[in-house]
Amino acid sequence: MRRIQVLVCSGTACQSSGGERVKKALLEATAARDLLPEVQFVETGCMGPCELGPVVLVYPEGTFYVRVRPEDAAEIVEEHFLKGRPLKRLLWAGAAPQPQEIPFFARQKKVVLANCGVIDPERIEEYIALGGYEALGRALTGMTPAEVIAQVQRSGLRGRGGAGFPTGKKWELVRAGGPPPRFVVCNADEGDPGAFMDRAILEGDPHAVLEGMAIAAYAVGAAQGFVYVRAEYPLAIRRLEVALAQARKLGLLGPRIFDTDFSFDVEIRIGAGAFVCGEETALIASIEGRRGEPRPRPPYPATCGLWGRPTLINNVETFANVRHILLGGPEAFASLGTEKSKGTKVFALAGNVRNTGLVEVPMGITLRELVFDIGGGVPEGREFKAVQIGGPSGGCLPASLLDVPVDYDSLTQHGAIMGSGGLIVLDSSTCMVNMARFFLEFTADESCGKCVPCRVGTQMMLGILDRIVKGEGSPEDLLRLEEIGAMMKAASLCGLGQTAPNPVLSTLRYFRDEYEAHIARRSCPAGVCPNLVRYVVVPEACRSCDACRRACPTGAAQGEPRKGPYRIVDELCIRCGACFDACPFGAVRKLPREEAR
């Protein structure tokens, strides 16, 4: 009789912090106590709080352990498994034992992620036990394709890849897009820096995506599907392969599913590392074996997609939503969210926030709730500055907009976008100019080079930003950035170029003073841009250990061991930061330069 169930997170984040070793140590410790017949171990997908990994959840009582190390295994087995006492020191903040008591979990609403971190993603039986493939069965045996489309339309589901196109509408367009063969494609080429929603879903609940694809295929009349997933997601690819094999074995994919006339199968296509292949027409070109380049639309993939056939392309999270619409009904689905944005959205919280990780919230929640209640706010001693939503295509929203509801239209209205769900929290230690430059460098590097506005425009904007962060900018540069940005938005071929200026334009809108400080005073207010800071020694903290003087290559750090605080001579300083890195007491500080030149 199994009396204890141990869920070990095996998402990419927990694996990289040692989750596998923890599981192995727990198994060994359990075996050493002869408890193996009583304890069941399950490897699950992502549970969410990636920052605190590796995480382990112990049932029946649901004790949530964080930052578990292999050395803790013996104690967990001894104290908890044998004696029934949860190990206090491994609990979240040393206090709350159950996930539902932790604000990080309590404020979330898990629909898409309901199975993530609960089931073993490599066992189809666990998915089926929780209602898996029931929605597909209902659709195939009791609904016409038109009825399925109508339900998806009534649910108000919009594309989770970022642009927010109504999903039911898209399905209808594909069905009417021309005679078969038609195709269904799952876009899993998640490439925004700091975003890992789709990876977590594929790793934690791959069948939900496959079931959504099968339902969509039935609705639009397709017999063949493709998952286009990036090569950087080896674990997601492996779990997809396992899921495909298991679904085929049980007849949930392949010929005559549920003994109906409907046949559908899915193949995996692995991307070769180009960000632009997340754009649907470039993705199609890549699947067809051509260079991953977008092409002008119209015609849209709904009428002219893969090999010129009508093709439905939805994102991972969109497909994962579908079964919930059929199971709970479109009205129940639409009861969550706002008037124009229904359901939930998964976000990858990253950056200067305490609880980084994967969260799912109802649409319409405010940024404040997301960042502070769920994310736990910024680390101590810092000040919240902005959230960057939507990655390289998105924008920055300042503290004054923290009460903006998170839905497609509100975010767009304020210069950001919903995007695929990357949400990076920035605090007072972030330079907004440098941040905008980072994203632009990314898009300039990822531009495919097909159209002139994006290929050359990103380079020109990057050149200006390079000068500004070096302290060589001029006031006209800001107007120039806005001009080039507006031109790229209007004239670029695909979404990459059309949105690439957004990080710059939105920071110019809300943090123009920081740009002006870089230009007019040659000072970086956040103390980040190397040329625009000065290094100073805080006398009270200095123990005159000589480390900075030894590290300094130019003799700017001066002083004598044990003879009072050191100092850094600004005229000699080349701002390499060696003293900053060398100081063991944090006595060297980076401050914004003050003098005008």
Which residues in this chain contact other proteins in the complex, by CB under 8 A? 274, 276, 291, 295-296, 298-299, 444-453, 455-460, 463, 487, 490-493
Amino acid at 176: A
Residue 490 Cβ vs other proteins, minimum distance, rounded to whole Å: 5
CA distance 149 to 394: 30
Residue 441 Cβ vs other proteins, minimum distance, rounded to whole Å: 11
Residue 297 Cβ vs other proteins, minimum distance, rounded to whole Å: 9
Comparing CA positions, the residue from 283, 103, 366, 317 lying closest to residue 212 is 317
398 close to 510: Cβ distance less than 8 angstroms? yes
Q: How many CB atoms lie within 10 A of CB 89?
A: 9
First to last CA, the chain: 77
Query: Hey, which residues does 351 pair with through a beta bridge?
Result: 425
Name the residue nearer to other proteins (CB basis): 63 or 447. 447
Comparing CA positions, the residue from 78, 101, 25 lying closest to residue 56 is 25
Q: 153: which residues sit within 8 A by CB, 6+ positions away? A: 166, 168, 169, 172, 330
Residue 277 Cβ vs other proteins, minimum distance, rounded to whole Å: 11
Name the residue nearer to other proteins (CB basis): 355 or 443. 443
Residue 473 Cβ vs other proteins, minimum distance, rounded to whole Å: 13
CA distance 412 to 245: 41
Name the residue nearer to other proteins (CB basis): 138 or 467. 467
Torsion over CA of 231, 233, 239 and 240, rounded to 10 degrees?
A: -50
Structure tokens at 151: 């339900």
Q: 519: which residues sit within 8 A by CB, 6+ positions away? A: 468, 473, 474, 475, 477, 478
Name the residue nearer to other proteins (CB basis): 449 or 555. 449
Residue 298 Cβ vs other proteins, minimum distance, rounded to whole Å: 6
Residue 179 Cβ vs other proteins, minimum distance, rounded to whole Å: 17
Name the residue nearer to other proteins (CB basis): 151 or 281. 281
Cβ-count burial 264-276 (b if 16+ within 10 Å, e if not): bbbebbbbeebbb
Helix (H, G, I), strand (E, B) or coil at 271: strand
Helix (H, G, I), strand (E, B) or coil at 458: helix
Name the residue nearer to other proteins (CB basis): 36 or 479. 479
Name the residue nearer to other proteins (CB basis): 275 or 408. 275
Amino acid at 138: R
Name the residue nearer to other proteins (CB basis): 211 or 279. 279
Name the residue nearer to other proteins (CB basis): 231 or 538. 231
Residue 215 Cβ vs other proteins, minimum distance, rounded to whole Å: 32
Torsion over CA of 67, 70, 75 and 79, rounded to 10 degrees?
A: 60
Residue 412 Cβ vs other proteins, minimum distance, rounded to whole Å: 14
Name the residue nearer to other proteins (CB basis): 386 or 493. 493
CA distance 200 to 209: 12
Residue 553 Cβ vs other proteins, minimum distance, rounded to whole Å: 32
574 close to 585: Cβ distance less than 8 angstroms? no
172 close to 298: Cβ distance less than 8 angstroms? no
